[in-house]
Amino acid sequence: MNLDAQHPLATGLTADSRLIRAYQGTRPDATPVWFMRQAGRSLPEYRSLRVGTRMLDACLDPEMASEITLQPVRRHNVDAGILFSDIVIPLKLVGVDVEIVAGTGPVLGTAVRTAKDVAQLIELDPAVLDETLAPITAAVARTVAELGSTPLIGFAGAPFTLAAYLVEGGPSKDHIHARTLMHADPDAWAALMDWTAEVTGRFLRAQVLAGASAAQLFDSWAGALSLADYTRFVAPASTAAIAHVRDLTYDEGAAGTDVAHTDADDADAASVRRNVPVVHFGVGTGELLKEMHAVGADVVGVDYRVPLDEANRRLGGLVPVQGNVDPALLAAPWPVLEAHVLDVLERGRTAPSHVLNLGHGVPPMTDPNVLTRLVAFVHEVTAVFADATGSVPEAPVSAPSAS
Ligand code: 1CP
């Protein structure tokens, strides 16, 4: 389905941004940068705005969610905003009893452990989201109106990561109850994953339709899975979740956005149909990179454990990558961080394109000035990757991986 003519990708406002170009596999004039969890507790302006408002209430207040989304964009000059929300929001909106407990994370009223629990859960109709998502789409619309040519990334949790919270009842180290359920009762597990894919897929699609220019699916806890379990019990549901945005397209250089064209045929010939870029990220998922790409992603987010040249090799040299500065180094002396970032950039050059990010979220105690300095540094050092005329250099040719 083609996006609305007013969507920032369709009007061309964000279509030529560094982020979108890099997600499409070309190298813009400088490497784009944004940070997972760039909004939030590292910013004093966030902490003061949040006083007296619960996390999920803040997400469901369009004015507040929009303001929190914009705070890091104003402060750091990052190349994208990411909607301030949470992966459990669509669960809450369909009627699941979930809260975010400060310092802990999402906590469920009751864990979903048995086939009976699953049957009860999936009686909640995902179609209710068509109405209950209104505060989210309102927040997106407000935010993109302010962001102008800076793209907004919409996001959602992947079915496994959400199911991990549902089955465990809260955060967990090894997700053992979820991993047991998939083997002990594959039918109940499949029903749970189908339902979760539908709920989270609708949440993601609504954000893109409302104005987000890219979509990121977080399978944060998929690193707990073996490759065999991922492929059998998880990948089909991730494919189903991504399918909710996979069909969304826009025409670049289309008639109506290009005033130079008067002849309709000419305009058609010049226009290229593109899809809304989809990014897929997980933590500890070095063994799953290829499969996480195969579920329908355009870009793969890499955590800090696998160097980007190795990630690129595992991905066959053909996939744009995002990552993977170690968040722990944000608190190290600047020369240590700088050397690490240069190494990440150098390894990232082996891939078709690279969006610089952290290997996981910004730690709450991070000095925000370090993030601002890091953005300026990355933009400055990568500008020399482009040649003197400012044109985009050839992407380095990587040998296809043997794996
Ligand atoms: O009171 C607070 O400030 C709560 C902290 C917090 C914040 C700021 C939570 C609770 N969620 C969020 C916002 C959030 N969550 C964003 C905001 C946008 C941005 O990046 O700036 C995003 C993208 C998420 C997504 C999210 N929530 C993920 C996937 C990304 C990741 O970090 O792996 C996960 C796993 C969650 C669950 C969650 N919500 C909150 C916490 C502390 C957690 C993790 C709990 C755990 O360890 O299991």
Percent of the chain beyond pLDDT 70?
91
Pick the catalytic residue from 18, 21, 37, 246: 37
Would you kindly state where each structural domain of the chain is located, as residue ranges?
Answer: 18-389
Q: Kindly report the backbone phi and psi dihedral angles of residue 192, in degrees, each rounded to the nearest multiple of 5, phi listed first.
A: -65, -45
The reported pTM is 0.93
73 lines ligand 1 (CB under 6 A): no
pLDDT value of residue 270: 75
Q: Please indicate whether residue 250 is annotated as part of the active site.
A: no
Count the neighbouring beta carbons within 10 Å of the beta carbon of residue 248: 19
Binding residues: 37-41, 86, 165, 220, 360
Helix ranges (H only) for 122-234 are 129-132, 134-147, 159-168, 176-184, 186-209, 227-229
pLDDT value of residue 254: 62
State the Cα–Cα distance between residues 70 and 93, nearest whole angstrom: 24
Q: Please indicate whether residue 347 is annotated as part of the active site.
A: no
301 lines ligand 1 (CB under 6 A): no
State the Cα–Cα distance between residues 139 and 374, nearest whole angstrom: 28
Tell the residue nearest (CA) to atom 31 of ligand 1.
Answer: 220
pLDDT value of residue 302: 98
39 lines ligand 1 (CB under 6 A): yes
Q: Output the six-digit token pair for 403.
A: 């794996």
Tell me what the pLDDT averaged over the chain comes to: 93
Q: Output the six-digit token pair for 131.
A: 């109405």
Tell the residue nearest (CA) to atom 44 of ligand 1.
Answer: 105
pLDDT value of residue 268: 55
Task: Convert the pLDDT of each residue in 313-352 to its tens digit.
Answer: 999 999 999 999 999 999 999 999 999 999 999 999 999 9
82 lines ligand 1 (CB under 6 A): yes
Q: Which helix (H) or strand (E) holds 357?
A: strand 354-358
CATH ID of 18-389, from 3.30.420.40, 3.20.20.210, 3.40.50.300, 2.170.130.10: 3.20.20.210
Spacing, Cα 96 to ligand 1 middle (Å): 18
pLDDT value of residue 387: 45
- Of 123, 117, 135, 138, the C-alpha closest to 56 is 135
Write down the residue that tokens 């800090």 correspond to: 304
Give Cβ neighbours of residue 45 (< 8 Å, ≥ 6 apart): 71, 75
361 lines ligand 1 (CB under 6 A): yes
pLDDT value of residue 389: 42
Q: Please indicate whether residue 165 is annotated as part of the active site.
A: yes
Task: Convert the pLDDT of each residue in 130-187 to its tens digit.
Answer: 999 999 999 999 999 999 999 999 999 999 999 999 999 999 999 999 999 999 999 9
220 lines ligand 1 (CB under 6 A): yes
pLDDT value of residue 394: 46
Pick the catalytic residue from 46, 165, 230, 304: 165
Residues of the chain short of pLDDT 70, as ranges, are: 254-269, 385-403
pLDDT value of residue 253: 84
Is-contact 280 236, C-beta < 8 A?
no
Spacing, Cα 400 to ligand 1 middle (Å): 36
Q: Kindly report the backbone phi and psi dihedral angles of residue 124, in degrees, each rounded to the nearest multiple of 5, phi listed first.
A: -70, 125
DSSP string, 160-174: HHHHHHHHHSS--SS
Tell the residue nearest (CA) to atom 36 of ligand 1.
Answer: 87
Q: Output the six-digit token pair for 360.
A: 């996981």
Inter-CA distances, 260 with 11, 223, 255, 270, Å: 15, 50, 9, 11
Pick the catalytic residue from 79, 86, 219, 251: 86
Nearest atom, ligand 1, residue 172 CA: 48
- Of 340, 275, 277, 269, the C-alpha closest to 304 is 340
Tell the residue nearest (CA) to atom 28 of ligand 1.
Answer: 87
Q: How would you list the strands of the sheet with 299-301, edge to edge?
A: 81-82, 152-157, 214-219, 278-282, 299-301, 321-325, 354-358
Tell the residue nearest (CA) to atom 40 of ligand 1.
Answer: 105
State the Cα–Cα distance between residues 115 and 98, nearest whole angstrom: 20
102 lines ligand 1 (CB under 6 A): yes
Q: Please indicate whether residue 202 is annotated as part of the active site.
A: no
Residue of 56, 86, 281 to test ligand 1 pocket, by largest number of atoms within 8 Å of CB:
86
Binding residues for substrate: 37-41, 86, 165, 220, 360
Inter-CA distances, 384 with 52, 78, 107, 181, Å: 46, 19, 47, 52
- Of 355, 222, 219, the C-alpha closest to 299 is 355
pLDDT value of residue 259: 45
